Each structure stands twice: as structure tokens, then as C-alpha cells.
Chain A
């Protein structure tokens, strides 16, 4: 088993930012805000956030904000809750939440809550339990959770629970590790994990580990590095992560590295991208891989960033 090629990954993440002309970069342009969150959080976990020009990032992030308070995935695009969270998370990484007009962002998120407690992604009304998590997390980072109806929000998430203990996009939707992460995260952030059948969901989640050591997202599917994050963080939040074999998973993630050019892919020998690079590194952090910063399983930000915001002096005074 190789080691984590930290320096290569740092170079890879920086190069993604510069590369703008190949087809994939153009395809991804509208979600650059997500890309910024993935890349920058990965750099922070690797202890290399300081090589980025914070002011430049912050001013670009702010240039994506709309009058409604929501953020777009890139300049010129429409606001959406997905990118609003990424924007807030990126500002949190740099300890720059104070540049925000908190009421404005809060109003945008609050305005997306529906009568049944669910959240729409934007003005067009698509409902998904992912958006519930995003809204709850975004407001938690801004200390504004009391501005929404938390009880209804929790009830909606619980209504997405299935026979296998997992959660789907909407009531009746099939359990999927990514969706489970969002719903368990939403319940964790609101002190509502008693709604989760931890043993049942824990068994379903630990059975995501396949022979190669990697994790899949649903039964009878192929393993993928991104599930290292979705499954692991869910298992951690419900205190069942010891039910999988951590060494085998570490090996699987390391096997997905491009040790030559940096970056991590979904499976060994596939093409790398920044999304899988982030989830691989974040997964290794959750597995307590040496010399990585610890990441928080619910806030999806480094633990020191979360503690600074939720437990820090500024909040108390």
C-alpha cells in the first residue's frame, strides 16, 4: 500500500483551478462554487490552505451573490441553495463569515422552506431532503437556525425514512448513501438523532463495504471513493464506524490515487477529478489517517473551523 501523495494532490487541486479550456472544465463551470469548496477544504485538511490567496477567493465568492441573498455556482448564473452553502462554507474556512450580510443570506434560506417543513432548492420548487440538510447547515454556520421551523424541518426528514433505516430524496424514495448522509446530518445538527434506528441503518451502511475494501452507495453497486465520505460520516454520526474494516478502506482510497499527476478517482485507474480528490482526502481524515486535519462529519468542515464557529469566544460574547 502506498502513502498519501500529499504534495501531488496539492499541485493537482491548484492546477484544476487554472485549467479552463478542456471540455470537462467548461462542463463544470456552472458549479465552480462547489468546486471551490471541495478543493479548498481538501487543501485545509492537508494543512495547505495558506498557499491560497484568501482575499481573491472571498471577493470572487461575493461576486456570485444575488440580490435575493442566494449565491450562484459561478458569476452570471442563478442562485441556488447548493451554492449558497458552498459559499458560506468557503467563507467559514477562511474565517471570513463577517463579510456576509447575515440577514440577507438567512432570508434567502428561510424563504425556501415549504409548508410541510421541506426545502426547495431555489425559486423553481424542486424539493429534496438534500436541501433540508443544506438549509439547516447553512443557518447553523450563521447562528440563525431559530429562524426556520426546525420541528417541521425534522419531521420532513424523518418522513423520508425507509424500511432499511436509510433515507431517500423525498418520502418513498430509495435509500442512498449520499441522501442518508444529508438526512443523518440534518438530524445530527438539530439534536434529533433519536429518530434514527442506529443498529438497522448501521448494518445497512457497514454492508456497503465490498471485498476490495471500498464502499458502494447502494446494495449491489460498485464501490466509489466518494462513498468513503457519505457512508463513513453517516456511520460516525451514529457511532457505528467500527463496524467496517478501516484498514481495507484506507488501502482502497490510496489505490485510487494518481501518484504521478496527483488527484484521486472513483475507482483505481479511473480519471481523477477534484470531487473525488476531496472525498478521498476527507474520508482518510475520518479514518484518522496520520497528519491530516480532522474533519467534522456533520458540518463537512475541519473540526477546528466548526469549533471556532459553534463553540468559540465570538459566539459566546
Chain B
């Protein structure tokens, strides 16, 4: 029982409880009898009122009273005086039930039901609420009812906002009031209501208010989430923009058939193999956007390209996504190796907008060239050996900046990937940074450090003049501190730390180049002259900065602490991936791979697949459990292998979408001989399994 001490009942207590129980039981049987006999006499109603006072949660009794109300309203529809008396009596019963149990859903709803019958007395309702909210300022039933009454009585939003100010002034530790404030303010800002425009002025005042709460008691969580919300609103005043693309601006791509060695290749970072003469075109925005289609992205080319179909790079979200993909198909009939130029412009006409539809994307224009050489015939040969992820097989590569797949400058022209941040936004974030530094100089609190880390990241992302490297270093230190200061949440800070670390690696050309390699042995056409990125042994628990990795074809993430690979689906060029020696707990964690159609080689050896009874990615994976995948009845596999399917359904759904040629799975609990036999059945193109050639 909530909040009741555990102690053996004394005999006199037991006796009293039995007497009460008998009384209650008697009332309950009377109620049910009256209910079934549709007896709405005065005496019968009295029974239900007494009963509800004792047991306000008894929903059948509330239903009975509603039936009685309807009965009497039907009987005397025009007698206003008696209707008023009936409704008043119901409000009285509901009120006394609430005095008994202020958390009774049934009693609160009964009041709502009566009010919506046309009984209205705002003052009375607000007075009653005042009483209840004084007793418990956090009662969410009372707050819900307050919103209902405000809506019913057309109380203006700014008046209700004022009420939240009063509540916060009385006691800032009132999360319910902060919550209601955010909901009301969002509406008022959206409507550009009088006194709530411009947004910048309003937000500045809100920062002032929430500072008082956080700085008075930094350990009280009431203001934490409101401050983060304000920061989000501040950053959101900027329009979405294109962060990166593949191919990138002013880039030359060599397109050749799979398995055809091309001596003219400029660098591994610009070659792309495809049998169909198709290259992906990927747009990556700083925030989810909607409205990407062939009319909002204008693609002009010297080659005759068909109308492009744009798809979001996420399996279930059809509306808004950070990453969008289309495919450019080049003519195959012309045999001459030739450069086609492609120009892409977005933002004219202004159809692409943020997920909320509030801002249009910043207009951007970029162009690249594609050398098409589709001579030769494609080969199915996978070479004599599989890919081996040993250090000695990778050599660091020297490439000229011109051939590097994206720019690191701080571009200012309209033609480049860059945000357009308002001065107000930059200034606001700077002010906040200064304030939180001051707070931290006085007290070593976790919310101070965490907020400062978030502010510095926002500053790095939005300010054109920030020294990103120095900011990121400071944020990394803050997360290190937080891991020590608040060890219960160490993995939260670790995940954040990983994201910052990846931003740091990708923030300069030099630091990223240290992780770029070529594969030494050119025995397999699938890895030949491919662009390799190695982030092995990098102590990351999470993937980020994928917008900087769109060009990667071979990725080594082995020896990290990854449990999931969210975001990897944006790396559409990926053909070989090592996740060996991580903390992947289930095949469902590999959902992003289902969107990577070029993937041929996968190493997931030495993970934790099969070791956990609880699967934390079960619902982030498309399957019949979430109605996002149906079992294919026509499949032979389904018909003949039910036992296997029951144990290995995750692997089945994952691998049926990927045509892998090489897979390493050893070192996982699940990896038995029968499981391997199952894999061979569902992966018809598999050449290598755990280093052995598949027969």
C-alpha cells in the first residue's frame, strides 16, 4: 500500500477493519443490486454516495450515478431548477470523494462529466482547485482538471501562465508549474500573441526566471528540464541547413563496375563501384527536415538523369529525417569514359522545412563531377581470401586535400555547408556560458557541469568564430568530471563523451586523416581501392558525427564499447564493417544495417549476442512484435524451419535484407553449430563464415 507502514495488525485494529469491511461489503452489494435493477430512488442514490465516500475508486458506482443523472435529465428535461439540483448533488458527491482520495481518477472524471453537461461555475471550480492545489501543488489530476476547466471556460492562456508564475514564485520547486508553463508558452509563442513577440525577448525573460530556480538550489530538478527546453528553443530559432552530402561539393567521383579495376582512379576516396551504373546521392541536414522531393531538390546534369525519388534514411519515419537518399543512374550505352557534371540546389523553391514546419531550410547549392566507366563485365568472384581486419593489412594513406571527401574550412558563402545563426542566439548562449561558469566557481554541482557542457556544444555548433577544438576539449573534461561526480549515471556521461570525442576527431582534416587507411592486399575486388576508416580501440560507447563519414566504404569499429550502432544507416557506401569485440547484445541492435544495401562483409565476433535475457533493442527493430514486419508465409524457410525460427527470428529478419558474403560470428553465446547451419541457409551468397569457406 502506498505509504502505509508495515506492521502486524493489533487485535482491536483487525476488529475495526473487519467491521468497516462488513459495512463496505454491505453497501457494495446494495449498489450492485440497485445498479442491475436500475433503481435510481433517493435511498438507492444515498447508498452509492455513502459508498463512494468510503471507496472513491469504485468505478461501477460512478457509472451508476451517471445513469441516474441521465435518467432524471430525461424525465424532466426542461425543469432547470431540478436539473441544477441534480448536478449540484453530483458535484458535492465528487468533492467529498476527492477529499477522501485526491488521486481518484473516477471522482475527477465524474466532475468533468457533470461540468460538460452544461453546469458551469468557474469561480467555484477554481476555488476548489485552489484548495486542492494548496494541499498538494504537484497533484497532476488537479493540474489536468485545471487545464480542462480553463479550456471549458475559455480562460486566456496568458492568465494561466500568470498562475504558473505565481506558483513558481511561491515555491520554485514545482515541476508541475514549470511543465504547464512550457506548454502554455509554446502556444503563446506559436500564436505570436500580444506581448509574446518577438520570441527572443520572451525567451530572455524565461532564462532569468529559471536561473533563480537553478541557482537557488542546483540539486533541485524542477528547473533543469525547463532550462534545456529554453536552450533548444534558442537554437531552433535558426533555420535547418545542409551539413554534408555525398558526393560532396566540387568533388570528382569515378564510377566503375564492381570488380573492374580502374587504373585511372584518382584516389580511394573518389571511386565508387556499381553494376547498375548508379551512385547514391545523400543529403544530410543538421536536424530532421521534411519536404525533400524532386521538386524541392533541383538536380541538373550534363547526363540525362531520370526524375529522382527521394527517401528518408530511416526505416519507419516517412515524414522527417536528417538524412535523405536518392540514386543517380548514369547512361550505360556510352562507352567513352566521360565526366558528367551534376549540380544540386536546395531551398528554391522553399519546400524543405524543419520537422515542426517552423523554418525553411537555408538555400544551398553544390556541384560535383562523375566519371563513368562501365566497361568490362561484372564479376561475382569474391577473391580467394576473405577480408582480414589485421593492422598489417591497413596502410595509412596520404591524400591531397582536394580529394578529401569534404571540406573543413569555415565556409561563409551561400554555396557551402554552414549554419546561418542569429546574433541573438550566439549572444544568448555566450551569456549562459558565462553564468554557468560563475555558478561552477561557487559550487561543484552536476547540473552546472552538464549544462555548461551542453552550452559549449551549442556554441561550437552555432558560432562561426568559435575555436571548436578548444571547446570540445573542455566538454570532454566536463564529462570526465561528471563520471566521477555522479557515478550512478556513468554510462550516460560516457555516451555523451563518445559523441564529443567523435566530433573532435572529425573537426580537423589532420585528426581525421590519422584514422584513414587503404587496404593493403588487393585480392578481393570488393575491398579494392576502397575508402577505409578505422576507429578501433577508441573507447567509444556510441556512434555519432556520421554526417562526416558518408564516404566511408570500409569501417573498423572493433574493440570499443558499442551496444548499438544507431545512425550508421547514413553510411550508405559501407561494404565492409567490423564490430568485433564490442558489447552488442542482440541482432536487433544491428537494425541500421538493414538499410545498407552494399554491405558484403560483417564481423560481429566477440560480442554479447545471446548472453542477455532482456533485449534493449527489441522494439527499435522491425519485426512482427511492432507490426513493422510481417512473417512471410510464402518463404520456404518459414515453412520448414519453425524450430530454428522460434530461436533465431532476430537473425532471420536482420539477414534476409542483407546479401552478406563474409560473416564472423564466433565468440558470441549464440554461435553454436546449429546456429551456423541456420545462417548458411538464410544467407545464400555467403562465401566465408568465421574464416572458413562455406561449402
Contact = CB atoms under 8 A, between A and B. Distances in A.
B646 A193 contact: no
A219 interface: yes
A306 B646 CA distance: 12
Question: Dominant SS at the A interface?
Answer: loop
B17, B140, B614, most chain A CB atoms within 10 A: B614
B624 A311 contact: yes
B642 interface: yes
A78 B60 contact: yes
A4 to B, nearest CB: 15
A218 B616 contact: no
Interface residues of A, number: 91
B32 interface: yes
B677 interface: no
Interface in A203-249: 203-204, 206-207, 209, 218-221, 224, 236-245, 248
A78 B316 contact: no
A272 B5 CA distance: 9
Contact of A21 (B21, B222, B616, B628): B21
Contact of B59 (A73, A168, A221, A245): A73
A109 B420 CA distance: 50
Interface in B619-664: 619-620, 622-628, 631, 633, 638, 642, 645-646, 649
B489 A206 contact: yes
A24, A145, A218, A220, most chain B CB atoms within 10 A: A220
Contacts of A190: 626-627
B488 A294 contact: no
A140 B626 CA distance: 9
Contacts of A122: 63
Interface in B1-31: 1-7, 14, 17-18, 20-21, 24-25, 28
Contacts, number: 226
A220 B6 contact: no
Contact of A207 (B109, B221, B229, B626): B221
B222 A219 contact: yes
B474 interface: no
Given A266-B2, A272-B6, A243 B489 contact: yes
Nearest to A218: B175
B488 A163 contact: no
Nearest to A31: B57
A311 B646 contact: yes
A17 interface: no
A143 to B, nearest CB: 10
Contacts of B3: 266-267, 270
Nearest to B116: A125
Contacts of A243: 489, 491-492, 495
B116 to A, nearest CB: 9
A23 B1 contact: no
Contact of A271 (B6, B140, B489, B623): B6
B413 interface: no
A288 B642 contact: no
A242 B624 contact: no
Nearest to B29: A76
29 contacts: A23-B20, A23-B21, A27-B55, A76-B36, A77-B32, A124-B109, A126-B112, A150-B627, A170-B144, A173-B143, A188-B626, A190-B626, A191-B627, A209-B489, A219-B221, A220-B173, A220-B220, A239-B617, A243-B491, A243-B492, A265-B1, A265-B6, A266-B2, A269-B6, A272-B1, A298-B618, A298-B626, A299-B625, A311-B624
Interface of B: 1-7, 14, 17-18, 20-21, 24-25, 28, 32, 36, 55, 57-60, 62-63, 66, 105, 109, 112-113, 138, 140, 143-144, 147, 173, 175-176, 179-180, 182-183, 186, 220-222, 224-226, 228-229, 314, 316-317, 487-489, 491-492, 495, 563-564, 566, 589, 612-614, 616-620, 622-628, 631, 633, 638, 642, 645-646, 649
